[in-house]
Amino acid sequence: MSCIVEAAGIRFRYDSGFEALRGVDFRLCAGESVAVLGPNGSGKTTFLLHLNGILRGEGQLRVCGMDVEPRHFAAIRRKVGILFQDPEDQLFRPTVLEDVSFGPLQAGLSKASAETRAKQALAQVGIHDGWTRAPYHLSGGEKQRVALAGILAVQPEVLVLDEPTTHLDPPARRALLDLLATLPQAKMIVTHDTSFARALCPRAVFFESGRIAADGPAEEIIRRFRWEI
């Protein structure tokens, strides 16, 4: 079977000597949505950063059929779209449109077609104007949507979201839920918001001190670890 992510025995130690991952085994197939649950400090964010080679530990890791190695980084980073925890860190260009077209431009598109792509992605997240606004003029929810558009503009095969609902008010959270439900890509969603996880992901994995302690139906995992909020 062709899987998008195949990880086996991933181990990683930070410079400080702390061993954040201690043998992670994980598979994700096309079109699947997985919730990534687990306590604070269990290594969820650290694991995500391995998927496109930003952190590199020991073990076997293949993404979209390629080993995660420097010569494949460019290709892999086009297929894996990671949305980080703080949208402020992702909007690093002076205007919304420039920011969203950053990815396509880096992928070698012309300026014009990168901007067309960016506008499509912005429309997908429900932003139809204000393209020349600067990021610091946006509200928290808008920042998050622009950041998501920046990921979508690269047309990745898998979306990886790190706590996408923090700071969103309930209507904005519902809007994000609806938006994500319409996107066809495979998804990995790190979240402490179990009702969000349950609404989007039939499957869940549970991290515990640097390992995946359980993998199975989201309902069951939430019940088993008493993870209900």
Partner 1 sequence: MAQRIAGSHFVFDEWSRGSSALHRLSPRTKLVLFLSLLVITAVWPQSWLLFGLAFALVLAARLPLFGVAARAALVLPFTLVFAAATWLSGDAHRALALLWKSYLSALWVALLMATTPLEHVLEAAAGFGAPRLLIDVMSFTWRYLGVISEQAWRMRTAALARGGERSFEISASTLAVLFASSYARAERIHRAMASRGQKI
Partner 2 sequence: MHIPDGFLSTPVWAGLAAVSAPSIGVFARRAQAGLQESRVPLMGVMGAFVFAAQMVNFPVGAGASGHLVGSTLLAAALGPAAATVVMTAILAIQALVFQDGGLLALGANVFNMAIAGVLAGYWPYRLLAGTRARRIGIFAGGFLSVLVSACLCLGQLALSGVKMRAEVLGLAMLVFVITAVLEGAITVAVLSALERINPQWLRVETRKNRPVLTALAITALLLAVAGFMLASALPDGLERVAGLTGLEGKEFHVLQSPLPDYEALTLENPWLRKAGAGLVGLSLTFAVCLVLGRWFVRWRSA
Interface ranges with partner 2 (CB under 8 A): 92, 94-95, 134, 136
Q: How far is the CB of 54 from partner 1 (least distance, A)?
A: 5
Binds a second copy by CB under 8 A, chosen from 1, 16, 71, 182: 16
Which residues, 6+ apart, have CB-to-CB distance to 93 below 8 Å? 99, 102, 135
80 binds partner 1 (CB under 8 A): yes
Q: Does 186 bind partner 1 (CB under 8 A)?
A: no
Beta bridge partners of 21: 12
Should residue 79 be labelled a site residue for a second copy when binding is judged by CB under 8 A?
no
> Coil, helix or strand for 76?
helix
For position 228 contacting a second copy by CB under 8 A, the verdict is yes
The DSSP-derived string for 25-72 is: EEEEETT-EEEEE--TTSSHHHHHTTTTTSS--EEEEEETTEE-SGGG
Give dist(CA 124, CA 155) in Å, integer.
12
Which residue number, 196 or 207, has a Cβ lying nearer to ligand ATP?
A: 207
- For position 16 contacting partner 1 by CB under 8 A, the verdict is yes
Collect all residues with Cβ–Cβ distance below 8 Å to 157 and sequence separation of at least 6: 4, 30, 64, 79, 80, 185, 186
Query: Measured from the CB of residue 180, what is the shortest distance to ligand ATP in angstroms?
Result: 19
- Could you tell me the sign of the dihedral formed by the alpha carbons of 78, 157, 101, 168, in that order? negative
Among 62, 93, 167, 192, binds partner 1 (CB under 8 A): 93
Contact positions vs a second copy (CB under 8 A): 16, 38-41, 45, 85, 137-142, 163, 166-173, 192-196, 226-229
Contact positions vs Mg ion (CB under 5 A): 45, 85
